[in-house]
Structure formats: C-alpha cells, structure tokens
Structure 1
Amino acid sequence: MQGKKHYQEKFFTNFQLSDRVPADNIYRKLKDILDLRFLYEATAKYYGKDGQKSIDPVVFFKLLLVGYLENQPSDRRIVNMAAMRLDILYFIGYDIDEELPWHSTLSRTRQLYDEDVFNTLFKQVLKQCIDKGMLTGKRQAVDSVYVKANAAMDSIREKAIMDDAVDFTRQLKEEDSSDDRPDRPEKPTNTAPKRNNATRASTTDPDARMSVKPGKITRLNYLGQLSVDTGSYIITSIGAFHADKKDSQCLEAVLDKIDSNIKGYGLTTEEIIADANYSSSSALETLISRGITGYIPNTGTYKQERTGFTYDEDNDRYLCDQGNALKFIGYKEHHGISKTYMSKRSDCKNCPARKTCIGKASYKTLTNSLKRPLFDEMHKRMSESYGRQMMIVRQSTVEPVIGNLIEYLGMRKVNTIGIKLANKCMIMAGIAYNLKKLLKYGINGSWQALIMLYGKPDYSIANIIT
C-alpha cells in the first residue's frame, strides 16, 4: 500500500538535541574531548563588572572553530549555518529556540582578545596531542604560503599621495571657518612608478603586501608560516607575516614559536627541514646557535666550484681561463653579506669566451658570501643520502598540510583587516586542523597499542619515507 506523509506543525513536542546528533558526528566528538573552561579565566581581564553580558568566550571560540571546520570563515554565514544545524547547536550549547549571537559580535570579540588568548588555545589543543603520544617534536618541516588579504588591488595608492590626502583633510578641518582654502593636491599622473611595496600601500588594509607566485597574478597577501611535526603531521606553530618578507627572514621567529609551543612539555626540536627559500647566512647561523641540524638546500646561485675561474687569495681576486682578473669591488646583501667581484668591460669586450661566459652582458660578476663555509657544509649535508631523503620527507609532510588548510579549512583568504587579526585567523585554522588529527587518532586507536602488537617502530630513513 502506498504511503503518503501528511505534515502538520506541532505547537508542543518533546525534543532533545542530544538524541538527534549521531554518536559519530564530529561536533559530538569535539564536545566530548574539548574542554574550554580555562577560557573564562583567560578572558576575564577584558570585561568589567557592570553592563550587559557579552558572548560566552567558550561559545565564541566554538563558533570560530565551526567556521574553519566547515571551510566558511564568514562570521555572518557561521551564525546562519549554526541556526540550521542541530549538531552545531549541540556543540555550542544552544537549544533550537535560543537566539544566537549577532554575527558582528564575533568580529568585535575577535578584535577584543589579544593574540595570547588564541595562542593559549592552540597550546591546549597541542598539549592534548602530546599527552596522547602523537608527536615527539624532534623533526619539524617548515614552509610558507600566501594567504589572500581582505583587500583588492584597486585599493592601492602611492604612499605620498595618501599622506597628502591626510594632510589636506586635516587642513580643511582646521580652516573650515575661513574663506581661504588651501590648494588641492595635484592629481597623480599616469606616469606613476612601477607598483612596489616600498612606494605603495592599500588604503583598505595597509598591512597587506603585494606579492605574486610564478605564473599567477599579483595580489595583496599575507605570508603564512607554519611548522609540522614530521612524525605525526601535527602543526606545531603557525602565524602571519608581511608578504614582502623572505622566508629566511621569518625562520628565527618560527623557531621561537616552536620553542614556545612545545618546550614546556619536555619536547626539543633537533632537526629542521625547509626549502631553498629559507637559505641565508643568518638563518644557518640561527640554527647553529640553537643546536639544531638544518636540512635546507642552498639557493641556485650557490656554486661549489666556479668553473673557469681560480681564486687568487693573496690579491683577493678571481682569474678567468683567459687571464683576465675580476677584482673585489665591494659588499652587498645577497642571502647575507656577500663580496662582489667584477671584471673590466674592456677585458670582456673582445674575449673569445664572451658568448658562453656572460652572453649579452658587458662584464662578469661573481659573489662570495662571507659565510661561505656554512653553505659549503650545508651542500655536503644535502649531498648525502639522508639529506636527499629529508627533502622527500618535507615534500610529503608540510605541503599536504598546507593544501588541507587552504582547500578545506578556510585559510585561502582572511576575512579581517590587519596583520594581528590575520594571525588570529591562521592560528584558528591550525587549531581546527590539529583537532581533526586528534579525532582521527582516537578513531584509529592508540599508537601505543600498535607498538604492543608490532613492536617499536623503526625510525630509519626507509621507514620515514614509507
């Protein structure tokens, strides 16, 4: 007999959210393992004793987590989504007839709390991973990614014009009652210099920087830096930097974050793996001063031997195969302080080897870093079998994590203004990622149980790769 459903809305019904949320639902599991009561004490200093009650700090952070877990960082859409989802309501502790916080409350509260509160939450989740034996902290893979800023390229103006506009507005206010008006600033001409971060900035988000990847268009971005434990794929540090900074300039700050996050739990980083963008004399010296072994390929400009050139140590110059000299002309910043050697134009003009040596250039230059022994040592380390395998480990560890954050955890673009808020957004994306790893670990069972069944794992390079 054919069934036919008749629906009539009830005025009264017996209903419990906990009965409607399945046992294997991600938010039900998070509610069981995530204890955020410490946030009440951590955020108490931001509130007075009088006035209206604010949003519950625990609810605030849970709603932010929902946004990243659902790949939807828009505050407005987070609240709209929560209103329609029983599992999210159960997670944040709201009933179906309770009014949710206004979306602008999320934005204001995000600005209210300092970065320390977000870092504290990150460390608490990381501690849960450490307590379960998920990571050792010994080896970290470091990498970076451009994260689109909440500003368009159309908002870019020359800094001098922006300053003139501010002065002009101030003068108008000061002389508003006067008949004499200051002359308007001249309009910018169409012959403006090439766009760069030194002379131009966004009026929407001055902290954003123009940057571009090969084959892509120029955008206003932030630079996300993160480190991943190679044994567990857990993020041990994450944060925002200005997009015009080199990776090598950020390495020391990344190491500080790693230490701050894991050292308090008795873990020590012994090895760092990174790509050639992190190679510089200052970066290598930082690793040595911290007692960390680095696996960072030298940049393409590094040459172990300079084919066709012999160094004359007594006269501090290079001699080419044709008998011409490249004399020392000074120092320059090139992956650290480097010495520059240059030939005479007249020597190269009629040289028979000119085409293969300098091509269309007028002279030959060579650069030698003052810290060349550091690069020589790194070249030797990376030429060995273990060093080559470390590059495979890096590629198979940190790059998939970045892809996961960008594609599925809302880190393609920040929805805030300013580097401080961008940093909070990236920290929350890292927390969401680590929580998913923590839940997956619980599903797959304890690593200690696997060790009991199959013995202690072999940490040889062959097994690291597999």
Structure 2
Amino acid sequence: MQGKKQYQEKLFTNFQLSDRVPSDNIYRKLKEVLDLQFLYTATAKYYGKDGQKSIDPIVFFKLLLVGYLENQPSDRRIVHMASMRLDILYFIGYNIDEELPWHSTLSRTRQLYDEDVFNLLFKQVLKQCIDKGMLTGKRQAIDSVYVKANAAMDSVKDILDDAEVFTSQLKEDEPKDDANKPEGTKPQKRSNTNRASTTDPDSRMSVKPGKITKLNYLSQLSVDTSSYIITSIGAFHADKKDCQYLDAVLEKIDNNLKEHGLVVEEVIADANYSSSSALESLISRGITGYIPNTGTYKPEREGFTYERENDRYLCPQGNALKFAGYREHHGTQKNYMSKRSDCKNCPIRTKCLGKSDYKNLVDSVKKPLFDEMHKRMNEAYGKQMMIIRKSTVEPIIGNLIEYLGMRKVNTIGIKLANKCMIMAGIAYNLKKLIKYGGKCFWDALLSLLSPRFVFSL
C-alpha cells in the first residue's frame, strides 16, 4: 500500500541539538577540542560596565570560524547559514528558537578588537597542536600569495592629478584638461607611487604573469614541514618583493614558537626571497636557508677569471677589468670596467661587447653569500628541500584560497585584512588538529637518511 506522509507542525516537542549532531561532525569535534574561555579575559578591556550586553566573544569568534570553514566570508551569509544548520547552532551554543546576532554585529566587533586578540587565538590553537606533538619547529617553508582586496580598479585615482585639481580650485582657476597640456607630454605610467584606491588606500595594484592588474594584499605564511601546520600568517602591502618581508616573517615565526621552546633551524623558500639582506637576516638568526638565487646571479663569468687578491677580472685576452666603484641597484653592487684602449682592437670585440666601447661586469657586494647558497642548493639535500617546499606550503596556499575563504578579504584596510588572514590560518590549523594521525611523510623519510647518504633526483 502506498504511504503518504502527513505533516502538522507541533506546538511542543522534546528536542536536543546534541542528539541530532553526529559524532563525526566537524563542529561537534571542534566543540570538544576548542576551549575559548580565555577570550573573556582578553576582550574585557573593550567593554564598559554599563549599557546593553554585547555579543559573546566566544560566539563571535566561532561564527567567524564557521565562515572560513564553510568558505563563506560574507557576514550576512554566515548568520543566515548558521540559522539553518543544526550542527553550527550546536557549535556556537544556540538553541533552534534563539535569535542569532545581527550580521552587522560581526563587522563592528571585528573592528573593535585589536590584532592582538586574533593573534592570541592563533597562538592558543598553535599551542594545542604543539602539545599534541604535531610540530618540531625545526624546518619552516615560507611562501606568499596575492589576496584580492575589497575594492575595484575603478576606485583607483591619480594622486598627482587630484592635487593639481585641488590647487587649481584654491586659486579659483579651472582644472587643466588634456587639451591644455603641452605637446609631447606622455601620460604617467600607472603605479602605486602616483595612484591609490579611494575605497581602500592600503591595497596595492599588483599582477601575476598573464593575469590582469588587481588591487591586492600580500599574504605571507610559514608552514612547519613536520605536520603542515601554519606557524605564522599575515597581511602585507602587495607592492613590495617577498625578500623585503622575510625578516618580518621570521620575527612572526619566532614570536609564535619561542615560548614553547621550539627553535627554527632551517627555512625553505623560493627565489623571490633571495636578496643580500634576506640572507644576512638568516645568518644573524642562526638559521640555515635553502633559497635558490635569482636569475641575475652568475656563479662564474664565462671566459673571465676573478683574481681575489687584486680584486679584478681578467678577460679571455688577458686584459684586466678593475674595480671602478659601487652602485646601488637592488642592493650594493661592485662595478668592474675594462679600458677602452684594451677593447678597441680586440679580436673578439663584437662578440664580447656588442655596441659598447668597454666591458662592464657587476657583482653584489655580498656575492660570497650567494656563492655559498648556490653550493648548498646544488647538493642532494638542498634539492630535496625544494621538493618538500612544493609539497607543503604550495598545496596549503591552494587550500586557503579555494576552500577557506581567503580568495578575497571582505574588509577595508590592512589591519582588518590581517585579521581575516589570521582567522583563515586558525581554521586551517583546527582542521589539521582534529584530523592529525601521524608523522609527516617527508620528515619520516629524512629521519631515515644518513647525513652521508647521497641520492640522485
């Protein structure tokens, strides 16, 4: 006989959320693992003793975590989704008949709390990972990724043009138009030095090869290779190179790990982090770096011999290129030049000089540091480090972008962008915490290798 379900809403019912959330549900596991009672003390200074009660700090941070775990950065959608999900209601401690906070409350509270509170939560989750034996702290892989800012390219205005308009208005003159500009005047190249977004001035124009220019922030993160745990993450301006931020990243890592007695011994990064100042920073901290040199580095000059005692190069014809002074270009460089008279009747002049009248060679003042790195990266262990980097930090970045809401920040300003990235890192670490089941493959493999064991790749 065919069945037919009749539905009539009950006025009273015996119902418990805990009975409806499965034991293997991620939010049930997080509720059992995550202890956020410390947030009451950490956020007490932001509230007075009188007035209307605020959102519970624990509820606030749990709702933010839900947004990243569900890849929903919109505050409005977070609250709407929470109202429809029994497991989320159970996680944040709300019954099905309780009214949830307004979505605007999340935005205001995010602005209210300083970055220190978000960093404290990150450290607390990291501590739980350390206490569980997931981290060694010995080796860190570092990389970066552009994160789209909450502003469109249409909001970018020319700062200099705006200043001219403002000045002309003060003088009660009409703004200059293109017709009044002198002939032959070239338009200024679009750059972050003369243009800024009126929506989010902290964002910067940047572009990946083959992509269109966008307003971005630069997320710098480090990953412990023993268990793929994020040890530091934060927002930086996107108009600078990775090598300029390496020291700041190392400082973040040190602050997060030193209180637990973990010491960083090795750092792995790509060639974007290679510079004389970056290598000196690693040496000053007692850290061994595995960073490929940039393409401009040349271990040897083909046909030219360097005489260290005389600080000069000898060309294939035996003529000397003497030290001619220093110049500043991506760091201090030493300039070596030949005499025009030596090159004038040289039999290989055309091949060696091209259209120039003399030969010019440039070396970094810190070339010995790059030479040492070049030697290290060509050893079997150094090549293995590059494989480990690709298998750790790069997949984690992809995970954060595709599944943990870090493709775009939904806030304005670098401070709020930093909070968003920290929360994404916390969400990722929590997922690793509840799923952790053993030692990292690469560290297990390397622990079996003898220091003298050499293998070909």
Secondary structure at the aligned position of 1:459 is classed as: helix
Query: Which secondary structure does the structure 1 equivalent of 2:245 belong to?
Result: helix
> What residue number does 2:271 align with?
276
Cα distance per residue 1:434-461 (max 9 Å; x no partner)? 00000101xx4x669xxxxxxx986145
The 1:32/1:254 distance shift into structure 2, 3 A limit, reads same
Q: Could you tell me which residue of structure 2 aligns to residue 176 of structure 1?
A: none
CA distance in structure 2 between the aligned counterparts of 1:233 and 1:84, rounded to whole angstroms: 33
Alpha-carbon distance, 1:342 to partner = 4.8
The 3 A distance-change label for structure 1 pair 247 and 128 is same
1:326–1:431: structure 2 CA closer, same or farther, 3 Å change rule? same
Instruction: Please tell me whether residue 310 in structure 1 is matched to residue 298 in structure 2.
Output: no
Q: 1:316 Cα shift?
A: 4.9
Q: Do structure 1's residue 431 and structure 2's residue 426 form an aligned pair? A: yes
Aligned residues: 446
Q: How far did residue 327 of structure 1 move? A: 5.3
Q: What TM-score does the superposition give when structure 1 sets the normalisation length?
A: 0.88
Do the aligned partners of residues 392 and 360 (structure 1) sit closer, same or farther apart at CA in structure 2, a change above 3 Å counting? farther
Would the aligned equivalents of 1:279 and 1:335 in 2 still touch at CA under 8 Å? no
Distance 2:102 2:111 in 1: 15
- Structure 1 pair 356/9, CA: closer, same or farther in 2 (3 Å)? farther
Q: Distance in 1 between matches of 2:124 and 2:298?
A: 45
Kindly indicate whether residue 135 of structure 2 is the aligned counterpart of residue 135 of structure 1: yes
Question: In structure 2, do the counterparts of structure 1 residues 4 and 140 end up closer, same or farther at CA, with 3 Å as the change threshold?
Answer: same
Matched with 2:231 is 236
Using the TM superposition, name which of 91-100 and 358-367 deviates more: 358-367
In 2, Cα distance between equivalents of 1:361 and 1:14: 90
Q: 1:339 to 1:22 in 2, by over 3 A?
A: same
Q: 1:191 to 1:80 in 2, by over 3 A?
A: farther
- 1:186 pairs with one of 165, 176, 187: 176
CA distance in 2, matches of 1:102, 1:435: 26
Contact 2:268 2:389 in 1 (8 A): yes
Give the letter for the 2:388 counterpart: V
How far apart, in 1, do the equivalents of 2:315 and 2:269 lie?
A: 35
Match of 2:414 in 1: 419
- 2: CA distance between counterparts of 1:459 and 1:4? 64
C-alpha contact 2:312 2:322 (8 A) present in aligned 1 = yes
1:271-309 residue CA offsets vs partner (Å, 9 max, x unmatched): 111111111111111111111111111111111110122
Q: Partners of 1:166 and 1:96 in 2: how far apart?
A: 56
Contact map agreement 1:133 1:447 (CA 8 A) in 2: no
Shift of 1:334: 4.1
Which residue among 382, 386, 391 is the counterpart of 2:377?
382
Quick one: distance in 1 between partners of 2:357 and 2:429? 55
RMSD (Å) for aligned C-alpha atoms: 2.9
1:335/1:160 CA distance change after superposition, 3 Å: closer
Kept in 1: contact 2:37–2:58 (CA 8 A): yes
Question: Residue 373 of structure 1 aligns to a residue in which SS?
Answer: helix
Please tell me whether residue 100 in structure 1 is matched to residue 100 in structure 2. yes
Quote how far apart the aligned CAs of 1:2 are.
1.5
Are residue 119 (structure 1) and residue 107 (structure 2) matched?
no
Aligned to 1:212: 207
Query: In the alignment, which residue of structure 2 is the partner of 1:369?
Result: 364
Farther off after superposition, 188-197 or 84-93: 188-197
- 3-state DSSP of counterpart to 2:289: strand
| Mapping of residues 323-362 of structure 1, within 5 Å | 326=321, 328-342=323-337, 353=348, 357=352
1:183/1:359 CA distance change after superposition, 3 Å: same
The 3 A distance-change label for structure 1 pair 11 and 239 is same
The unaligned stretches of length 5 or more in structure 1 are 172-180, 449-455
Q: CA deviation at 1:142?
A: 0.7
TM-score, reference length from structure 2: 0.90
CA deviation digits over 1:376-411, x for unaligned, max 9? 111111111111111111111111111111111111
Counterpart-to-counterpart distance in 1, 2:166 and 2:83: 43
Which moved further from structure 2: 426-435 or 148-157?
Answer: 148-157
Matched position secondary structure for 2:334: strand
Q: Distance in 2 between matches of 1:416 and 1:88?
A: 23
Counterparts of 2:433 and 2:116, CA distance in 1: 22
Whole-angstrom distance in 2 between the partners of 1:347 and 1:382: 38
* In structure 2, distance between residues paired with 1:383 and 1:360: 35
Cα deviation for residue 412 of structure 1 reads: 0.8
Q: Which residue of 1 aligns with 2:32?
A: 32
How much identity, in percent, do the aligned residues show?
77
Is residue 165–residue 176 contact of structure 2 (8 Å, CA) maintained in 1? no
Question: How far apart, in 2, do the equivalents of 1:243 and 1:309 lie?
Answer: 39
- Measured at CA, do residues 168 and 394 of structure 1 come closer, stay the same or move farther in structure 2, by a change above 3 Å? same
Q: 2:394 aligns with which of 387, 392, 399?
A: 399
Give the direction of change, closer, same or farther, for the CA distance of 1:346–1:43 in structure 2 (3 Å limit).
farther
Residue-by-residue CA offset, 1:326-365 (whole Å, 9 max, x unaligned)? 5545433444311233567898798765665466778654
Match of 2:2 in 1: 2
Looking at structure 2, the residues matched to 76 and 380 of structure 1 have their Cα atoms a distance apart, in angstroms, of 54
| Distance in 1 separating the partners of 2:238 and 2:44 | 34
